Amino acid sequence: MDDESLHELFARAIATEPPAGPMARNALRAGLRLRRRRRIEGATAGAAVVAAIAVTVPALSGLLGTGGHQPPAARKHGHGSVVYVANVNQQPAGTLTPISAATNKPGKPIKVGQAPDALAATPNGKTVYVADLGSNKVTPVATATGKAEKPIRVCAAPDMLAITPDGKTVYVACQGGNSRQPASVVPISAATNTGGKPVVIGGHATRRNTAVGAIAIAPDGKTLYVAATLKGTVIPIDIATNRPAKPIKVGRFPDGLAITPDGKTIYVANDGSGTVTPISAATETAGTPIRVGAQPGDIAITPDGKTAYVQGWTTVTPVNTATNTAGSPISGVRSPWAMAFTPSGKTLYVTGYGVGEVTPISTATNTAGKPIHVGRYPVAIAVTPDGRTAYVVNFVATGNGTVTPITTATNTPGKPIKAGTGPRNLVIVP
């Protein structure tokens, strides 16, 4: 089956309700990071489609040993950033490909599991943590040596990561697999790379119970917020004790979280309600829902905290955080998927899944610039700390995927960089 046919199947799968069963769900997620909202209501005709897609995902059993690989010279000698790309379909194992931002040359792939998906780097840049959807483990990678360390056993289907500002604790969210493996959040000590006791989110992970839609840590590092998708709530967890507080009722199917830089407000995207709910961090109470575009998912807040941009199914909508009012959807943005700011906050880049473009948006005027043409299926984007380059992951299910560098000064794409099979996510380490 060629790539276009595979992507058509993916599109059909996410246009309908999700399949039942964690195996089919996780296989689909491993092949492509789909909107979590698509799996919410259970079995439909989409199940047959996903079963066909699942054959492209590596077998979900075991974890191959890790090898000692050197990172690119730029990282080794401290010159420039390194882009780490997770490849979910690499054979015979999932890999992490390091790319030098100085030369745009890839280094030797690092074996990190069966289906690596989520990535997070510690604030000091010394370690990249990789969540493996193909197992119940998270693998730390030392950036100084390029070596994968011993995998950390956590919980079933780990697919989201968040690290405290002091770098001491890594939180991993897991969707679970059955009544004995509930959806949960597990703390990992970065000092010892050992997992702590899971914090169960809303009970057992049955189809009619719950799933984790998103996680986010407050800037002061005191609270972890967890969106419990099927419960329609956000659960604050005290990081000092790892104890959950009373759930905060928001809209239907919360699927995205973002916190203002001052930590005062948490914004929650409610996929099933077409709204964004502001939560006061001081009182842990929800405010009046803000109507935005249909099926809102991701939220990105400007570095100055003045505007929250909400990615809907077909729209990007700005929300004024001072008044909690939504502006008009920004025209000229097609099939929005992933978003990233430049460090100055002056430009928001939005990938267009299936249309092969990245749209720059001026945050001063909320107008879209000329689309930048990249690979057809851009699924992730990140900007280097110096703001000079945006890197875009172009997903290819069965062949060599690529990462396209974009020069932000001119908004011109560079030569695509081969990154492995099934590149799905990336993180940039200074």
pLDDT recorded at residue 210: 66
Asked whether residue 334 carries a pLDDT value surpassing 50, the answer given is: yes
Place 374 in a pLDDT band, splitting at 50, 70 and 90.
very high
Asked whether residue 9 carries a pLDDT value surpassing 50, the answer given is: no
Place 18 in a pLDDT band, splitting at 50, 70 and 90.
very low
Q: Which is higher by pLDDT, 372 or 419?
A: 372
Question: To 10 degrees, what angle do helices 22-31 and 3-15 make?
Answer: 130
Mean pLDDT over 234-246 rounds to: 96
Mean pLDDT over 259-272 rounds to: 97
pLDDT recorded at residue 24: 31
The backbone torsions φ and ψ at residue 350, rounded to the nearest 5 degrees and listed phi first, read: -125, 125
As a whole number of angstroms, the distance between CA 308 and CA 320 comes to: 7
User: Which structure tokens are listed for 234?
Assistant: 């956000």
Question: To 10 degrees, what angle do helices 46-53 and 3-15 make?
Answer: 150
Q: Which of 22, 35, 100, 75 is nearest to 338 (CA)?
A: 35
The backbone torsions φ and ψ at residue 195, rounded to the nearest 5 degrees and listed phi first, read: -85, 145
Q: Which of 49, 99, 92 is nearest to 74 (CA)?
A: 99
Place 44 in a pLDDT band, splitting at 50, 70 and 90.
very low
Question: What CA–CA distances, in Å, run from 279 to 37, 284, 321, 329, 348?
Answer: 21, 6, 11, 22, 24
pLDDT recorded at residue 72: 36
As a whole number of angstroms, the distance between CA 35 and CA 259 comes to: 20
User: Which structure tokens are listed for 129?
Assistant: 């943590």
pLDDT recorded at residue 401: 87
The backbone torsions φ and ψ at residue 55, rounded to the nearest 5 degrees and listed phi first, read: -70, -15
Asked whether residue 196 carries a pLDDT value surpassing 70, the answer given is: yes
Top mean-pLDDT range of 64-68, 165-169, 395-399:
165-169
Contacts of 55 (CB under 8 A, 6+ apart): none
Question: What CA–CA distances, in Å, run from 423 to 98, 112, 128, 153?
Answer: 12, 13, 16, 24
pLDDT recorded at residue 206: 45
Asked whether residue 99 carries a pLDDT value surpassing 50, the answer given is: yes
pLDDT recorded at residue 31: 35
Preceding peptide of 378 cis, ω within 30°: no
pTM: 0.84
Q: What is the CA radius of gyration of the chain?
A: 20
CB of 355 within 8 A of CB of 335? Answer: yes
Asked whether residue 388 carries a pLDDT value surpassing 90, the answer given is: yes
As a whole number of angstroms, the distance between CA 274 and CA 296 comes to: 6
Sign of dihedral through CA atoms 214, 162, 206, 136?
Answer: positive
pLDDT digits (tens, 9 = 90+) for 120-166: 999 999 999 999 988 899 999 999 999 999 999 998 889 999 999 99
